């Protein structure tokens, strides 16, 4: 059986990757969504194992020691990471997996997992990104400037990705990411060619 | 401006490539369909420049001499070919082009045009292909055996293609080919990376 494909969906904070991934996961039956692990406290409404695996710093450290993360990072004092075991198990079973992750994390994953499909979600403009971040509240002028600078720095890494989707209209962006997933599932890989030819040969 | 992409859609006769291409061409606004040239007589209902460019053997020979074909072949005494000029003009203008073509033709095009996206339309089985060919009438047992043998020979070349779509259910097959086209339009090419980065930089 063919292995599953890893779809790494990332982009600047505020570009909309979270919403896109959630919609696709809700609509597609044959794909799994990897849930990150974090040491930060759950926010109101966040459910353990759905939004994150909430763990203690000790548990997180132990998994680091066991080389159990595809990537992890310390973000302003809290740790976030992608546990490797569950993702690998799905892929081995032939199940496709979505990883929603920031750009730094995606580049880390890429170093270890070159077979993945890397999709970059772009905001229509930094002006629009600013509006969206402001809409979430909680940003000062200083943190806003830093976040826009980070976004631009992240966009510089777009050449390491396979696809780019501009999230101007959400439904169009979701359709495009779905199209990328469908197309990748139609790609011919060398391993299956003999299998295909033999399948038809038996018919004759 | 980025060049257009060439989508070469092929597969065994009876797999349904013609119907799929026609549907996609009717639905998509931003794609052109290349019309083949032939020396055979128009069949009832066939319109010049829509179904084929119907030309004399002299005209066809002259275009061969001018190296004006992306591919051509003599099929049971009639010539068929893909004129190069119109396709190249569209691609240069940034317009995507669909080429619906048999497997031998596709492999010829591939030798000259490596940038294309090669999609193989498969029948669900040779048994089903037999039914479809029979449905068109006009086949003897002998020509049927030859056509199935040809189909299997063509399927052997599937490793030279980028994508495969099994045409079991027509609507699903059309959706998949459309998804491949959309995904290819989202692919990141090295040439546009600087352009993307600069576009966002101007926003800051």
Nearest Cβ partner of A183 from B161, B180, B188?
B180
What's the pLDDT band for B22 if we cut at 50, 70, 90?
A: very high
Give the pLDDT confidence score for residue A103 in this predicted structure. Answer: 95
Burial of B123 (0-12, 13-18, 19+ CB in 10 A): buried
Chosen for mutation from B27, B132, B150, B179 (greatest number of chain A CBs closer than 10 Å) is B179
Q: Does B144 touch chain A (CB under 8 A)?
A: no
Q: What is the spatial distance between Cα A14 and Cα B203, in angstroms, rounded to a whole number?
A: 16
C-alpha A107/C-alpha B44 separation (Å) is 59
How does strand A78-83 pair with strand A37-38?
antiparallel
ipTM exceeding 0.90, yes/no: yes
Q: Does the beta carbon of B120 lie under 8 angstroms from any beta carbon of chain A? A: yes
What does each C-alpha distance from B80 to A50, A65, B45 come to in angstroms? 58, 65, 19
At residue A102, the pLDDT reads 92
* pLDDT(A1) > 70: no
Tokens 């049927």, located at residue: B144
pLDDT digits (tens, 9 = 90+) for B119-141: 999 999 998 998 888 887 767 88
Q: What is the pLDDT of residue B103?
A: 95
B166-189 burial: b if 16+ Cβ within 10 Å, else e: bbeeeeebbebbbbbbbbbbbebe
Closest-approach residue (CA) in chain A for B188: A163
Q: Write down the pTM of the prediction.
A: 0.93
Q: How far is A73 from chain B (nearest CA, A)?
A: 25
List B residues 62-91 in contact with A (Cβ-Cβ < 8 A): none
> B34 among the known binding-site residues?
no
Kindly state the DSSP code that residue B5 receives in the 8-state scheme. -
B184 touches A183 (CB < 8 A)? yes
Q: What is the pLDDT of residue B52?
A: 94
The pLDDT score that the predictor gives to residue A195 is 86
pLDDT in tens, B38-93: 999 999 999 999 989 999 999 999 999 999 999 999 988 999 999 999 999 999 99
Judging contacts by C-beta atoms under 8 Å, the chain B residues touching residue A190 are 159
**Comparison of pLDDT for B2 and B119, the residue scoring more:** B119
Mean pLDDT of A112-136: 90
């Amino acid at each position: 059986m063919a292995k599953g494909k890893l779809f790494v969906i990332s982009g600047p904070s505020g570009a909309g990757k979270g919403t896109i991934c959630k919609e696709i996961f809700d609509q597609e039956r044959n794909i799994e969504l990897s849930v990150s692990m974090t040491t930060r406290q759950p926010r109101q409404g966040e459910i353990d194992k759905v939004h994150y695996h909430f763990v203690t710093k000790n548990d997180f450290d132990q998994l680091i020691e066991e080389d159990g993360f595809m990537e992890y990072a310390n973000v302003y004092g809290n740790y976030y990471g992608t546990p490797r075991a569950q993702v690998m198990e799905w892929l081995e079973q032939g199940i496709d997996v979505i990883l929603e992750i920031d750009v730094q994390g995606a580049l880390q994953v890429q170093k270890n997992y070159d077979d993945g499909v890397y999709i970059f979600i772009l905001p229509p403009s930094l002006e629009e990104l600013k509006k969206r971040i402001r809409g979430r509240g909680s940003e000062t002028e200083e943190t806003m400037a830093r976040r826009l600078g980070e976004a631009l720095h992240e966009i510089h890494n777009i050449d390491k990705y396979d696809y780019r989707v501009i999230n101007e209209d959400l439904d169009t962006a979701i359709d495009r990411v779905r199209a990328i997933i469908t197309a990748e599932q139609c790609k011919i890989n060398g391993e299956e060619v003999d299998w295909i030819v033999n399948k038809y040969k038996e018919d004759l």
